[in-house]
Amino acid sequence: MNKINTRKALNPAYRKHKPLRKEVTNFITELQTCINAVKLSDTNNESEEHIKYHFTTFFKNTFYANNYINTKDRIDLAIYTENNPKSEVSVLIEAKKPSNKNEFLKEDNLNKKALQELLLYYLRERIDNNNNSIKHLIATNGYEWYLFKAEDFYTYFFKNKALLKEYQNFRDGLKDSSKNELFYNEIAQKYIGEIQDKLPFVYLNFAQTNFQKLSDAHLNTLYKIFSDVHILGKTFGNDSNQLNKAFYNELLHIIGLEEIKEKGKKIINRKKQENRDYASLLENTIFHIEDRDYLSKIKSIPNNSDKQFNAGLELCLTWINRILFLKLLESQLVTYHQNNQKYRFLHTKFINGFDDLNDLFFSALAKPIEQRHPKYKDKYQEIPYLNSSLFEKNTLENEAFEISALNNDEIQIYNNTVLKNSKGKKQQGKLPTLDYLFQFLDAYDFATDGNEGITDEIETKTLINASVLGLIFEKINGYKEGSFYTPAYITMYMCKETIRRAVVQKFKEHENNQIENFQDLKQYCSRFFKSEDLKRLNNIVNSIKICDPAVGSGHFLVSALNELIVIKNELRILTDAKGILLNCDIEIVNDELYITNQNNGLLFEYNPKSKESTKIQHTLFHQKQTLIENCLFGVDINPNSVKICRLRLWIELLKNAYYTPKNTLQTLPNIDINIKCGNSLISRFNLNDDLKEAFNNKELNYSFIDYKNAVAEYKDTNDKNRKKEVLQIIEQVKNNFKSTLDNSFIQKYQKIQGTLINEQERQKNLINFGEKIKKSEKDELKKLQIKAQKAFQEKEEITNNAIYHNAFEWRFEFPEVLSEDGNYIGFDAVIGNPPYISAVNMKRDKLTKKLFSSLFTLVTGTYDIYALFIERLKMIGCNNASYSYIIPNKFLVANYSSLLLKDLVETNSIEKSINLAKHNVFEEASVYPIIIFGQLNSSKKFKKYSVKVLSNFITDNQIDEEKELKSYPTLKDFNFKIQGGLAGFQAKSIKPFLSEIESSENIKFTVSGGVDRYLYNNFNIRYMGEKYQTAFINKNCELSENKIKFYTNPKVVIAGMTKILESVFVDKPLGLGVGIYGIYNISSSEGYMLTAILNSKFITNYFTEKFKDKALAGGYLAINKNTIEQIPFINPVDEQRTKLIDLSKKIHEQKEKNPESDTSVLEKQIDQMVYKLYGLTADEVAIVEGF
């Protein structure tokens, strides 16, 4: 049997969450009450119906007060998604009496009636009710509890086509009995028997439990296994896929910013004049810039009308980034030292003003302990040296001022502050800015590590981990662009798919060319156990080069780092400094690594006093360091993004910082050199340009090997003076590259110019001697003049043009992807979320357009910039580089990308696309994304996939291949007339003719929102900014005669903005507004027949699949006249036609009498008839039913 350890069944991130003791105590009391009540009822021989009441009470009094709990049909007990019987069922429960042992599950035999009943409930919900919201299934007798995840039922039962077919035959009365016993004994028993050894379950037995003797860790686990977070999959405050808006909004307030919507994007801006608080960090900073005339001294910020704001904000962001990093450090130090408060330093007793904070930055954190001034040695004795450029003065601070210049005035507390007064109410009034900032940060839990205990606090603090902070960083630092954060489940999946393929390729090249996939690789690595072999295998993984050319906040690189650690762990090659394997399991959840001790099942918690604990911490730190230094590279045009990316990678190392034998915290390496600022799309120099000439320069004292070694030394040195020296060497070499390659363009021009001058002089001398110039000679001179002019323009563009100001030189910026001879090799993996900016909105002069058209030959017309990044990856990736990008679904259908897609397919460089358009992947962004994957020159046949159920993709990476749709005749083929409602000028012109008055001159008027299946109304209609309680339009409005005829004649009305096709036959006059359509010139019988077919499950499924690349965000269908014309249509005849018309009429009549009437039975009959009409197989029907 596949019994899962209770702790391991829980989300590791949730395991670290400490519940309040009072809540745990209440839960245990309710659980004991429930068990005792069930025991008493069983003793009194009460019915199982009576026992259900005790379970309902238990659930209601613990986690499910806001969920409707009751029986449903034959289901013993169901927990609904909401406190509403019309909502979907989320939990199916089968309850038995403790004395009913024959029907209840056993640890060694799950195939009992209780599980068979659960399977029947599940199939009814999943297939008949199309419910994909089921999360858990539970069988209990009070003492014993069996918990099954619905995703496992999906895997082992719903995906079993033979089972689905047998169930449907049973449901449809095609078996010799319709009694449930037949299903239990002949269907469920057979299929459960086939998989019961594989089906995962959690088993709890409280028969002998003494709850008073359970440890906090055990109580914590019990509390959580029954919680709505676990059972219903609810979030619990640190989901790295979601922005913590309370934290984000109050932090913006303290800085002095606000979020506004501009052109469909949320961007961050300075508060409006009337709302500004001059004690906020931004206003305080801008005041000093203005008051002390620093603006003229600042050269690093471009001179424009926003220079003052940009300079002030960049300073503020530098300081906030440092403070947030230090808050993580502080929390970590306190945790390391068993909550010893002397390791807290971000409070006003220790940091009494901005002067003290500045001293902390530069006099403590930036200097080794032995080099600190004597006046600071005692105060900062517990503050470690970090060796991070984050705590070195940056260019802007050198030009302007440090944080010590700020005044610590009082700032107004945010209206919705997290701070509370002594009475537990929201704090009001004012606080000194720094005091407010520290109190605000203290209101959250920044701990990156912690035990699985219970807190005695009055209320739990919301956890702000590194991933959540990453989201905050991305939002604030991308303030101009309105950044869209890529959710963790996307970055994790993309990194897993791409990096594993790249690792397999490396091992195939260096170890064994028969390794084809990751499973092969695991089998191969399992052969090795000697330290030297494990070291060799480690070095292969360490040689992988991964690049994100639009790195943003570094989210993808963090996910890549985690994936590389997990890969090593799964390959059993993750070793300590002595080459000994770590005795732990590692997994990624919500973008965080979780390490579990294999001996006791507890999550790893670093204890500096434990040798074993220190070994694990030491190993993880140096493994991460090696991978960051060797494997991860990023480029971004936004300098703020580059800073944040570096910061996020430092944070990943900080999580595993450890104490050395000298009792000092291990310093951070100089990883910033791998993350560079520049325009990934623009380079002066080609990737095949020769570097030899650059190193033959007599003025340069360094070889190419010196350059590579200098980059390596920069990463390793902890000496700041040596770091500066090495950086100077690197810059000198790079500048020499540039000047040498610039000289090549100058020399090319000079050579052509010399040839031209010589020819001009020659012809001038001939004329002086009275000789005639031949026509061929004149023509040759003209050609030379054109050639020289062209060379001059090229030289000027390359050497002087502003277009190259941010150019990124892939040719030499990353020596790690150059061979020993200096040739460009390229990256093994390219991954990311490139910017989505249309060429129409891009700031481009003629030279930029010309440059792009010469560099990117496979992207044409009015393109979107993401397409250039796809073509760029073909240049910067190695010959068989793996890649994945998340991009708009337009890529598959747009004209501008057709050549590029064709090239990827023909060169075997794209393997699959995954359609996510129906899901809101990017919050508040109208982007309909796909993910593309491939391996350059090595991909299999290109296939398209889609994500039907987002939760299944998040938990199980479940995707479905998009099959080629069957071909059918269409509505257009049958010459059905289709017309839209109103658009453009028409839509505005009729507004004066709309009213709420019913009269002989007025007819009813509706819009897309007024149409449902078999029903329409003209109530509460919103049109052009106004709401009409009942909407009518005057027939004498300024519309054409044809449009009025369309309004007043019978038609099938189709809603425009919907997730499923919704149509109704209307035989009375009805005006149609914007985004709504009608099929007209039809008889009454045709109208009823068409409506039945259009409202069927099959047509919605077909339409969704056919037009998925045009789908709108949130799963809305791309409904318009053109797509409606392409709806498949088979004309039913004879009895079939009569039956469809009859059923459609009945539904219309029932809906007209009572819009809430349940017509599902009739609609199911129509669905079955449509399946037969279109010739669907049983398997195809199952797919549609499960859609």
CA proximity to 191, closest of 181, 199, 180, 200: 199
β 546-548/632-636 pair status = parallel
CA proximity to 1168, closest of 98, 171, 80: 171
What is Dmax (Cα atoms) for the chain? 133
Angle, CA of 497, 649 and 451, to the nearest 5°: 90
Q: How far apart are CA 1024 and CA 1074, in angstroms?
A: 10
- What's residue 978's pLDDT? 95
Q: How far apart are CA 371 and CA 515, in angstroms?
A: 53
Terminal CA-to-CA distance of the chain, rounded, Å? Answer: 32
Query: Residue for token digits 């309850």?
Result: 95
Q: Are 634 and 612 contacting, i.e. CB atoms less than 8 angstroms apart?
A: no
> Which residues of the chain register pLDDT less than 50?
482
- What's residue 209's pLDDT? 87
Residue ranges of domains in the chain: 2-231, 245-477, 488-677, 692-803, 834-961, 977-1185
Structure token pair of residue 960: 């479905």
Burial of 801 (0-12, 13-18, 19+ CB in 10 A): middle
What crossing angle do the helices spanning 531-542 and 611-631 adopt, rounded to 10°? 40
510-529 pLDDT tens trace? 999 999 999 999 999 999 99
- Tell me 1171's DSSP state: H
β 827-832/546-548 pair status = parallel
CA proximity to 311, closest of 293, 323, 338: 293
**Fold (CATH) for 834-961:** Rossmann fold (3.40.50)
CA proximity to 152, closest of 115, 184, 108, 198: 198
Q: Are 58 and 33 contacting, i.e. CB atoms less than 8 angstroms apart?
A: yes
Which parts of 646-747 are beta strand (E)? 675-677
Q: Are 198 and 2 contacting, i.e. CB atoms less than 8 angstroms apart?
A: yes
Structure token pair of residue 795: 């030289």
Give the CATH superfamily of 977-1185.
Adenine-n6-DNA-methyltransferase Taqi, Chain A, domain 2 (3.90.220.10)
Q: Examine domains 834-961 and 977-1185 and report if their fold is the same.
A: no
Q: Are 452 and 16 contacting, i.e. CB atoms less than 8 angstroms apart?
A: yes
- Tell me 129's DSSP state: S
Q: Are 943 and 961 contacting, i.e. CB atoms less than 8 angstroms apart?
A: yes
Which residues, other chains included, contact 736 with Cβ-Cβ below 8 Å and sequence gap of 6+? 694, 697, 699, 700
- What's residue 48's pLDDT? 76
Q: What type of residue sits at position 66?
A: N
CA dihedral for 26, 30, 36, 39, sign (positive or negative): negative
β 1070-1072/546-548 pair status = unpaired
Q: What type of residue sits at position 996?
A: E
219-276 pLDDT tens trace? 989 999 999 999 998 877 655 556 788 899 999 999 999 988 776 667 788 999 999 9
Query: Residue for token digits 């269908």?
Result: 1117
CA proximity to 915, closest of 1128, 1118, 1174, 1181: 1118
Query: Residue for token digits 């900014």?
Result: 1025
Q: Are 238 and 462 contacting, i.e. CB atoms less than 8 angstroms apart?
A: yes
- What's residue 199's pLDDT? 93
The helix/strand/coil state of 1070 is: strand
Q: How far apart are CA 472 and CA 466, in angstroms?
A: 10
Other C-beta atoms closer than 10 Å to the C-beta of 694 total: 23
Structure token pair of residue 832: 């990311």
The helix/strand/coil state of 1081 is: coil
CA proximity to 681, closest of 896, 866, 900, 555: 866
Q: How far apart are CA 423 and CA 413, in angstroms?
A: 17
Burial of 171 (0-12, 13-18, 19+ CB in 10 A): middle
The helix/strand/coil state of 193 is: helix
b/e per residue, 987-1011, with b = 16+ CB within 10 A? eeebeebbeeeeeeebbbbbbbbbb
